[in-house]
Structure 1
Amino acid sequence: MSGVLDGFRVVDCSIAMAGPFAAQRLGDLGADVVKVEPITGEWQRHASAGGANGNRINVSFLSLNRNKRSLALNLKDDDGRAVVHRLVAESDVFLQNYRPGVAARLGVDYDTLRAINPSLVYVSISGYGEDGPYRDRPGQDLLLQAMSGAMLSTGAAGQPPQPAGQYIADAVTASTAFEAVLAALLHRERTGEGQLVTVNMLDALTTLQMQELSVFTVGGVPQERSAQPHAHVYIRSPYGTFRTADGWMVIAFPPLGVLSEIIDDPSLAGLDDEKAGWEMRDELFARTAERIVTGTTADWMAQFDRAGVWAGPVYSYQDLVDDPQIAHNGTFVEYDHPTEGRVKTPGFPYRFAKTPASVRRGAPQTGEHSREVLTAIGYDPADVDRLVDAGVVGQLDDTPDPVGSPS
């Protein structure tokens, strides 16, 4: 059973997280994703996230590059550009997140590639936009979180602004680019037209806050954090994380009359949910916190569940991995990798009844598929040998450099 994008080819010239993650999702759906990377390998191969090194492939690279083939290529060489141009002529999508001006210097800008393949969907990912006053600023995740306004929507007044504990700007941008590719391919299927698609991290993270920012821009309600560590500036109290006798749990704006019975605080019974929930935001949070800390998470969860109140445990990663719903959903996938052994990693956030996503191959080693890709687009073995000998094309070495070394 093939994936929904079986038969489509994607040329992935992106690095780090946002671009590779978007390309991986296209590969998960069946596209043939050719990762074009430098002879020494993409930067992410040599930067370990959390100190998690693999055997030959860093875990961060492993997690973002499954279902791809690696073509190691020197794009600064005329012959290298000729290779990628020939590849683009037989491809459907080109994806890059180079710094401004780099794509043009390498001969892989939109105008150049459109002349080669007018039906190409060309996706350019940037930090702040293709032009404008911030075009040259570094598009790093934490910098974008700070600029998006999101960091001042959680936590307590007077405390440092709180970033997300994930690379949320990168992840949201990847999902945005993934959506954009699918929409552009649908347009091409209808009209035959390719097009330029631009995605930037600042806009992606801003539009993620569609509801919150509209409350501010349309409703005129200021973004004000409270003294207690409330979880959202635009939701009434109590709403947030509460310590229990043995851990943590979250509670989401319960009816105050019901809450008064659960935590045995009669003073809450006669309060109006919305009026008091805003005017007494800190007091309600503090009262709830004083009671919740006296019982275990399981005991409180049982009471909240019986009352139909929105509440839940705060999980660690181990708790998440062990959860029965996660197991039922098949949220994680496992497969065997030739150098990294048994790999368990998050799988696919979508389900297709007839064209399911699948892991066809793990993350490739640098240049693992160079010869295979070049042969498929018409290079004869002698030409490939010449390009390898000239240092234009890299291919898998039987004794690759150890993880963490860029050379």
Structure 2
Amino acid sequence: MTDGILAGYTVLDCSIAMAGPFAAQRLGDLGADVIKVEPTTGEWQRHAAAGGAQGNEINVSFLSLNRNKRSIALDLKSAEGKAALLDLVRTADVFLQNYRPGVAARLGVDYASLSAVNPGLVYVSMSGYGEDGPYRDRPGQDLLLQAMSGAMYSAGRDGDEPTPAGQYLADAVTASTAFEGVLAALLHRERTGEGQLVTVNMLDALTTLQMQELSVFTVGGKAQQRSQEPHAHVFIRAPYGVFRTSDGYVALAFADLHTLGELIGEPAFEGWRSEVEGWTRRDEIHARTAARLRQNTSEHWISILGAAGIWIGPVLDYADLVDDPQIVHNGTFVEYDHPTEGRIKTPGFPYRFSKTPPRIERGAPLTGEHTREILAAAGYDDARIDELLASGAAAETGVRAGQPAG
């Protein structure tokens, strides 16, 4: 991708699972040459597919997080494998890793070691809770981070178990945070020539995402108090949430109570003031609204209430989402042909550029698919590459999930 906005930049992606690979994929989408450095048996995510969605050679989880990358398979615990990585570092722009705290230093690929080789390197270290501190060794898993962040307590019924998000929210937010950090550090380097260490952790990323909600608590002194009814947010007046209709669900927000009452046939709302009763009678408003909306279809209520200026919309499942007219218009999903997985349809890009649009140059690679190509570009001749492969310090194409390099 020679005309991408990040064309000419090289990223060494030593990350695993979701947050790190997702951040690196975003850089690849914008044209960076992203080299995925993985063990000779393949990155962990190759072996574990979310939802059990296996592919032909590459499972769907790995496929979705590793497009626009080349793969080199190296054994970083071997002297030869580590030396090969250091040779790549000399000309790289970004190094990204999400090892457990302390692992990078033990491998000799921490910021101090790599910046000595390449002072202009932007080094991104991602972790669950931080590089140090009392929680540094805890597992940085998405659900556990959601639970710690406080966000679960802002939705659902009082007395029920707090409700997690329906996606890997902590991983996705952390990936976007790391992506922003890389771009900012590269801009700094363009201005000063200096590389630097960028640290990102999942707990801070998910906590700062709640800028408004947490400020309501810390500055406004408002506590999280959930309702008996399944209200969608502790800091928003009723009605605010998801309601069942006769054939599905709708989301309803910030309705004027008098207008809503007239349109759904609820006389109790007559004379009620939205900003007063919306707080003091939150459970009653939700229950009465829910009872009325169950009596007709989603399309009926969206048409009637929407025409009156009330904020209402459908609750889509994935089957509805991919064919939604606005999604289709936006080109939110992209399709491409993968050499082993066939025709792929997957979410595309969250940004638009008029002159340097992101695009897919290659799908997710096989383990070590580009080992020989990458090492040759780094100055290794065929004999030296063959030596590394024979010793097991490197591996190339043909390694499948669960199989040793050979």
TM-score range, shorter chain: over 0.9
Name 1:86's counterpart in structure 2.
Answer: 87
Deviation string, structure 1 residues 331-373 (Cα, Å, up to 9, x no partner): 0000000000000000000000000000000000000000000
Paired residue secondary structure (1:135): coil
Matched AA of 1:232: H
Deviation at 1:46, TM superposition (A): 0.4
RMSD over aligned CA atoms reads: 0.8
After TM superposition, list the pairs within 5 Å mapping 1:7-18 onto structure 2.
7-18=8-19
Deviation string, structure 1 residues 203-256 (Cα, Å, up to 9, x no partner): 000001110000000000010100000000000001001000001111012111
CA distance in 2, matches of 1:304, 1:9: 52
CA distance in 2, matches of 1:217, 1:370: 51
Matched AA of 1:30: G
Deviation string, structure 1 residues 263-296 (Cα, Å, up to 9, x no partner): 1123213111111100000000001001000000
CA distance in 2, matches of 1:301, 1:83: 60
CA distance in 2, matches of 1:40, 1:29: 28
Deviation at 1:2, TM superposition (A): 1.4
CA distance in 2, matches of 1:260, 1:381: 77
Name 2:99's counterpart in structure 1.
Answer: 98
CA distance in 2, matches of 1:304, 1:251: 9
Name 1:290's counterpart in structure 2.
Answer: 291
Deviation string, structure 1 residues 110-155 (Cα, Å, up to 9, x no partner): 0000001101000000000000000000000000000001111110
Paired residue secondary structure (1:69): strand
CA distance in 2, matches of 1:289, 1:352: 43
After TM superposition, list the pairs within 5 Å mapping 1:1-400 onto structure 2.
2-397=3-398, 400=399
TM-score for both structures, normalised by structure 1? 0.98
Deviation string, structure 1 residues 297-351 (Cα, Å, up to 9, x no partner): 0000101210111111110100000101111000000000000000000000000
Paired residue secondary structure (1:196): strand
CA distance in 1, matches of 2:308, 2:379: 67
Equivalent pair of 1:46/1:406 in contact (CA under 8 Å): no
CA distance in 2, matches of 1:168, 1:17: 11
Matched AA of 2:105: A
CA distance in 2, matches of 1:105, 1:218: 43
CA distance in 1, matches of 2:335, 2:150: 37
Mean Cα displacement is larger for which, 54-63 or 268-277?
A: 268-277
CA distance in 1, matches of 2:324, 2:185: 37
Paired residue secondary structure (1:234): coil
CA distance in 2, matches of 1:320, 1:304: 22
CA distance in 1, matches of 2:90, 2:270: 69
Deviation string, structure 1 residues 141-194 (Cα, Å, up to 9, x no partner): 000000001111110001111000100000000000000000100111111110
Deviation at 1:69, TM superposition (A): 0.2
CA distance in 1, matches of 2:5, 2:102: 34
CA distance in 1, matches of 2:388, 2:223: 61
TM-score for both structures, normalised by structure 2? 0.98
Paired residue secondary structure (2:241): strand
CA distance in 1, matches of 2:4, 2:379: 26
Equivalent pair of 1:39/1:366 in contact (CA under 8 Å): yes
